[in-house]
Structure 1
Amino acid sequence: MAGIIILAAGESKRLGQPKQNLVFKGKTLLRHAIDTALDSACSPIVVVLGANGEQITIQPNKKVTILQNPDWPEGMASSIRLAIHEMIKQGAESAFIMLCDQPFVDTQLLNAMLQQQKDTGKPIIACAYKGAAGVPVLFNKSLFPDLLLLQGHEGARKILQDRADDIARIPFENGGIDIDTIDDYEALIGRQNVN
């Protein structure tokens, strides 16, 4: 079974407020990510909180494991390691890594990535946008040891660079839309009003 890791432990320093709580199309960005995961056939679903954890409200759901990362100041790698340990404990055969601030990720994309892993046999399925491979990304459990070796601010990108031959890519042009600043958020809301 494929699990889903939703990384939501960052402090949103450039934004000045927890990005997890920003509202888009009637839901917070984190709620959207969790609902997308719940609508998929994936299990387990793990959300990693860290900075601002006390300000982030998540409706309890027995299908969602919430982890509080005390080491979040180290960077994204600490959240990935914590979540991968949980995936191993729960017996996941593979795991998606998702961010909480990519509002255009949907269940259809996740399902297409699962199908691509079946079709290609590649251990990594990554989204392709802005000329590179990025998140969401699906890792077979054979890559879990590599993920557990990440340090500091290293995200999964380091593994994508080191294991380029092991990747099948799936186009996802909207993958480049994430929320790091208030300008990013205002642009997203403007886009919502156009659609």
Structure 2
Amino acid sequence: MKVTAVYLAAGMSRRMGEPKLSLELAPGRALGGAALAALLACSGIGEIVAVTREEDELAWLAGIAAGEAARRLDVVRCSEAALGMSHSIRCGLERALAGAPDAILIVLADQPFVTAFDLGRLLALGLDEEAEYAACGRSGAAHPPVLFKRGMFAELCRLSGDEGARRLLQGGARRGLLLESCEDALFVDVDTREDWERAVALAESKGLE
């Protein structure tokens, strides 16, 4: 299965009050680089399309994409990022679909405790031919990261406004599988300064480098 990742890093950081992806999560590691490092370490993922704002100086990429890894990473600047998440998703999909993947893995840049191990387990779950998607599960609900198979690409391209892909996973209209055995840390997302402070403390306790 050919998998391309779309890394959503074009949020406006309104609740944080400053560009959150460049905030230091651990010594030498920016918040925005943590989940990207996990993607780069996951052998089952081919190309990675990182969707950013036009004005992003990409300081959070420092030390992450170098050498062989840099050849797998394609940074796409989304001119309509301020209009909502759906625009960032479609921007990333447009680039990703050019490579004719069998599945698209959507990962959020503000979920810093996603691991290569969990991503690998998600890809393995997605190999089930009956599954149209595979997502990380918590209390029976689907959460990102999410692997979408080819049959859902058209619906992803029709998302609008500030609508993320969660609507497509609700209601049981699509056949999906949930990876229920994820650590609680995977579901941590950083939107506010309080979230960031908690994430820094968690990173320190986990020895994140």
The reply to whether TM is greater than 0.5 is yes
- Once the two structures are superposed, residues 11-39 of structure 1 have per-residue CA deviations (whole angstroms, 9 ceiling, x without a partner) of 10110111111222331122222221111
Match of 1:175 among 186, 192, 200: 186
Which of 70-79 and 129-138 deviates more?
A: 129-138
Q: Does the C-alpha gap of structure 1 residues 55 and 103 become closer, same or farther in structure 2, counting only changes over 3 Å?
A: closer
> What does residue range 69-148 of structure 1 map to in structure 2 within 5 Å?
69-119=78-128, 121-129=130-138, 132-148=141-157
Amino acid at match of 1:126: A
The Cα of 1:129 is off from its aligned counterpart by: 2.3
Matched, 1:3 2:14: no
1:192 aligns to what? 203
Q: Report the secondary structure of 2:61's partner residue.
A: coil
2:19 aligns to what? 18
Quick one: distance in 1 between partners of 2:118 and 2:3? Answer: 14
Amino acid at match of 1:152: G
Amino acid at match of 1:53: D
Tell me the number of residue pairs that the alignment of Structure 1 and Structure 2 aligns: 195
The Cα of 1:130 is off from its aligned counterpart by: 5.5
> What does residue range 42-53 of structure 1 map to in structure 2 within 5 Å?
42-50=45-53, 52-53=55-56
Q: Report the secondary structure of 1:151's partner residue.
A: coil
Quick one: distance in 1 between partners of 2:112 and 2:48? Answer: 18
Contact map agreement 2:48 2:73 (CA 8 A) in 1: yes
* Superposition CA RMSD, Å: 1.8
Quick one: distance in 1 between partners of 2:114 and 2:201? Answer: 18
Q: Does the C-alpha gap of structure 1 residues 152 and 134 become closer, same or farther in structure 2, counting only changes over 3 Å?
A: same
List gaps (5 residues or longer) in structure 1.
none
Quick one: distance in 1 between partners of 2:6 and 2:49? Answer: 5
TM-score by length of 2: 0.86
TM-score by length of 1: 0.92
Q: Does the C-alpha gap of structure 1 residues 14 and 85 become closer, same or farther in structure 2, counting only changes over 3 Å?
A: same
Matched, 1:28 2:13: no
Contact map agreement 1:120 1:168 (CA 8 A) in 2: no
Contact map agreement 1:3 1:45 (CA 8 A) in 2: yes
The Cα of 1:46 is off from its aligned counterpart by: 0.4
The Cα of 1:54 is off from its aligned counterpart by: 2.8
Quick one: distance in 2 between partners of 1:55 and 1:108? Answer: 26
Contact map agreement 2:21 2:60 (CA 8 A) in 1: no
List gaps (5 residues or longer) in structure 2.
none
Matched, 1:39 2:29: no
Which of 56-65 and 28-37 deviates more?
A: 56-65
2:76 aligns to what? 67
